[in-house]
């Protein structure tokens, strides 16, 4: 199956067709909200990307950076869509809840409910106990 290239396509349709967004309306809303930038500038959904431009997409905590290789207007399967862009995204952030390091496995001293924050004297006692 060959890709049918086009010369002009809207950025929201392009992001939908390369499977960055699940629907075209989500891609359009992201453009309107300023989460889609080309070369550091926010773009409208009607903007036409050019081959070689770098697109930065912010989706929640995830940041995607793609470079346009080929313009397509229709949604295709994932293997074909990956030929249309180069993924330059930074590695994903590590979720601290999943990390198993000594930093996140700190033992917390138990306190009775309703006693409030520890006083300076309590904190010093805890520091002596921890050292």
pLDDT for residue 98: 58
pLDDT for residue 1: 52
pLDDT for residue 96: 54
Could you tell me if residue 36 is left (phi over 0), alpha (psi between -120 and 50 degrees) or otherwise beta? beta
The structural domains of the chain, with segments of one domain joined by +, span 11-87
Q: 3-class SS at 85?
A: strand
**Whole-number Cα distances in Å, 15 to 25, 26, 48, 86, 103:** 11, 10, 11, 13, 39
CATH domain 11-87 topology: 3.10.290
| pLDDT interval class at 109 (50, 70, 90) | low
CA distance 77 to 55: 21
**Whole-number Cα distances in Å, 33 to 26, 62, 89, 90:** 10, 16, 20, 22
pLDDT for residue 104: 58
pLDDT for residue 118: 82
pLDDT for residue 62: 87
pLDDT for residue 112: 82
């Amino acid at each position: 199956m060959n890709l049918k290239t086009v010369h002009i396509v809207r950025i929201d349709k392009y992001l939908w067709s390369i499977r960055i967004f699940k629907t075209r309306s989500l891609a359009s809303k992201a453009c309107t909200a300023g989460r889609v930038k080309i070369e550091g500038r926010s773009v409208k959904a009607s903007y036409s990307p050019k081959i070689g431009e770098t697109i930065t997409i912010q989706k929640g905590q995830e940041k995607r950076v793609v470079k346009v290789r080929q313009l397509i207007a229709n949604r295709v399967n994932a293997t074909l869509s990956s030929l249309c862009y180069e993924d330059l995204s930074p590695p994903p952030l590590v979720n601290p809840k999943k990390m198993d390091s000594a930093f996140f496995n700190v033992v917390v001293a138990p306190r009775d409910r309703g006693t409030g924050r520890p006083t300076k004297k309590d904190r010093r006692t805890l520091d002596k106990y921890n050292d």
